[in-house]
A and B are shown apart, each in its own frame.
Chain A
């Protein structure tokens, strides 16, 4: 089933334009529950309540407030917030093209496919071909539904894709962290660990891994719907952390060789 476009925009750079449609590349596969009142199994609703009086405040009456460092509250009126909204635009403006890897993937957030919009097919095909040849990744800005986004423009399986990027400050810088230290690791342990990794080495095939938990949740729901009790799951004993690292490594290698 074809997905519905979530937004239409126009890629713009250097006087070139490509009308595109955005599609979410992420599919929601989670099991969705509702929250019920235990007593009567009726679904619950949520409301804003003044905690001192238990009085309900409607969303229309509620205000949003900024809390200063000192703890003072500044109420931002709907007018204030409206005035701060970014200008509406359909432009997805690409400001630079950088070599792959320059935008560290830790900034990556959510991927969206770009598809050609009507009459934009030729430009779309040209953009994809040109990006393929340059091997570069674009940095793009756009405003979608009153919110500003920054994204990486790249190809995925030959198709242009925008991956939204996290904002500055939203990725904890790891270069300020010190790795754990200690006396140097023994050659022998390092060799054995290296061999163990080799023994467990494989290519990455994402289709090999299933969300079994989701399947178990659905199976549980199914059993309960038929009036059966939950299946007994025998808990697996938690492994004790290895005290003697070298011994554990050696045993792992021995075991691996036997199975090989």
Chain B
């Protein structure tokens, strides 16, 4: 069982579900946890000063020039210049209590009708204790019918459209982009497709044919950028240039990677069902609420985020455990950070 290691901000460390709640279909309900099925980049860099001291991101009041703590911060919705509607966290949390706790599968649609370009992020579902039989039954029935359950639910202050899919006895959740989150070719303004010349089409068909392969390997997806960084860092480590050695006293604490922890937790949960006690109360149904004021400090900082470089945004996203941050551009990072409640 992953222990609840306390981080600096009082946040429990170690993998816990991204969301936990109930899946219902008909009058059947089962308690589950959601664990991410996507992982971040192979390499992530820290922000340090010239001496190698890890730097922390803090908020300043733009008027007073004072450092602020989590309690000093509040969200504002911009109306005009310097005019905001202040919105408290608990007001947002109380907007959709039922949807924060339940994934209600009201429809089961053919898996083949789900266009993968709607898929945003994937999660594994693990049963809580007592839900294993219902979990297995739902997985098996969905697999046999080749259907996926569809629902909307609220997780961390945002509503998601989600498809629950079953494969080899394991339930997976895929968040889907809402209808209006995916532009149509017309909305983008793409011109009506011209009719192609037959000879041109033949040339392109021949070109495609030359490159036809039946397979592709995960190796084709190597992250060359991260590899280059790791190699350069290793060269410097060897030469000793620009290296800040860790104090010997703190050495040997080399921990298991978070990825290994996550896999171990998912595996165990699938095998035995998670005991609800594994879920800190804060994550139960109210996944938006986090422990510790520091976490809160990171909320809703769109204005502040405007001024940050991409690297700075990335660092911030990392601190907030923003999922998928390695693949985000600047605008996405800004967006994700401001959302990461």
Nearest A residue to B31 via CB reads: A241
**Interface bracket on B:** 35 or more
Shortest C-beta distance, A252 to chain B (Å), equals 3
Residues of B contacting A: mostly: mixed
B77, B170, B197, B204: residue with the most chain A Cβ atoms closer than 10 Å:
B204
Between A and B, 29 residue pairs with Cβ closer than 8 Å are A27-B181, A30-B335, A33-B300, A34-B77, A39-B61, A43-B62, A44-B68, A45-B59, A46-B304, A57-B55, A63-B47, A76-B232, A80-B236, A98-B212, A98-B215, A108-B117, A125-B196, A128-B193, A170-B327, A197-B142, A199-B26, A201-B108, A209-B150, A216-B96, A233-B96, A238-B102, A239-B24, A251-B27, A253-B26
In the assembled complex, the Cα of A64 lies from the Cα of B290 at a distance in Å of 28
Which residues on A sit within 8 Å (CB–CB) of B131? Answer: 241
In the assembled complex, the Cα of A122 lies from the Cα of B15 at a distance in Å of 52
Q: How many A residues touch B, CB cutoff 8 Å?
A: 170
**A30 CB contact (under 8 Å) in B52, B122, B197, B339:** B339
A128, A129, A194, A252: residue with the most chain B Cβ atoms closer than 10 Å:
A129
How would residues 279 to 320 of chain B score, 1 for a CB under 8 Å from any chain A CB and 0 otherwise?
A: 000000100000000000001111111011101100010000
The verdict on A167 contacting B49 (CB below 8 Å), with A44-B73, A241-B130 known, is no
User: Does A14 contact B236, Cβ atoms closer than 8 Å?
Assistant: no
User: Does A47 contact B97, Cβ atoms closer than 8 Å?
Assistant: no
The verdict on A62 contacting B91 (CB below 8 Å), with A34-B75, A84-B232, A105-B116 known, is no
In the assembled complex, the Cα of A150 lies from the Cα of B216 at a distance in Å of 13
Which residues on B sit within 8 Å (CB–CB) of A96? Answer: 211-213, 216
Question: What number of A-B contacts does a CB cutoff of 8 Å give?
Answer: 585
Q: Does A260 count as interface, using CB distance less than 8 angstroms?
A: no
User: Does A76 contact B233, Cβ atoms closer than 8 Å?
Assistant: yes
User: Does B87 contact A202, Cβ atoms closer than 8 Å?
Assistant: no
Which residues on B sit within 8 Å (CB–CB) of A128? Answer: 193, 196
The verdict on A37 contacting B63 (CB below 8 Å), with A16-B204, A97-B208 known, is yes
**A36 CB contact (under 8 Å) in B43, B76, B213:** B76
Shortest C-beta distance, A69 to chain B (Å), equals 6
How would residues 128 to 168 of chain A score, 1 for a CB under 8 Å from any chain B CB and 0 otherwise?
A: 11110110101100000101101000001111010111111
Shortest C-beta distance, A244 to chain B (Å), equals 10
User: Does A204 contact B150, Cβ atoms closer than 8 Å?
Assistant: yes
In the assembled complex, the Cα of A208 lies from the Cα of B40 at a distance in Å of 32
User: Does A221 contact B22, Cβ atoms closer than 8 Å?
Assistant: no
Which residues on A sit within 8 Å (CB–CB) of B191? Answer: 115-116
The verdict on A45 contacting B62 (CB below 8 Å), with A34-B75, A51-B56, A209-B178 known, is yes
User: Does B141 contact A194, Cβ atoms closer than 8 Å?
Assistant: yes
User: Does A200 contact B38, Cβ atoms closer than 8 Å?
Assistant: no
Q: What are the nearest 9 A-B pairs in CB distance?
A: A2-B189, A252-B26, A179-B169, A105-B116, A130-B204, A126-B200, A213-B159, A14-B207, A167-B223
Which residues on B sit within 8 Å (CB–CB) of A123? Answer: 200, 204
**A130 CB contact (under 8 Å) in B74, B75, B201:** B201
Nearest B residue to A46 via CB reads: B304
Which residues on B sit within 8 Å (CB–CB) of A136? Answer: 208, 212
Q: Does B135 count as interface, using CB distance less than 8 angstroms?
A: yes
How would residues 51 to 73 of chain A score, 1 for a CB under 8 Å from any chain B CB and 0 otherwise?
A: 11010010101111111111111
B115, B142, B144, B159: residue with the most chain A Cβ atoms closer than 10 Å:
B159
How would residues 231 to 260 of chain A score, 1 for a CB under 8 Å from any chain B CB and 0 otherwise?
A: 001011011111101001101110110000
User: Does B212 contact A204, Cβ atoms closer than 8 Å?
Assistant: no
User: Does A73 contact B46, Cβ atoms closer than 8 Å?
Assistant: yes
The verdict on A34 contacting B301 (CB below 8 Å), with A25-B117, A46-B316, A70-B251 known, is yes
